[in-house]
Amino acid sequence: HVGATSNGSVIINAYWKEVFPRTTMPDAIRALLPSSAKIS
């Protein structure tokens, strides 16, 4: 399911904002996400 990877990224982004509210998620970490891997 395509929605599964999208929801996973949303959960990871939400988790990151709670843990690091003042830090933008680096592209390196985004590259590790399944959705980002498929896009690139």
User: What's the rounded Cα separation, in Å, for the pair 37 and 24?
Assistant: 19
The total of structural domains in the chain comes to 1
Residue 23 sits in which domain range? Answer: 2-39
d(CA 15, CA 22): 13
The torsion angles phi and psi of 26, rounded to 5 degrees, stand at -65, 150
pLDDT for the residue numbered 25:
73
State residue 4's pLDDT score: 58
Give the per-residue pLDDT at 10: 84
pLDDT of the residue at 5: 65
Taking only the tens place, the pLDDT of each residue in 1-40 is 555 566 777 888 888 888 888 877 777 677 777 765 555 4
Give residue 20's Cα distance to chain centre: 13
User: How much is the pLDDT for 39?
Assistant: 53
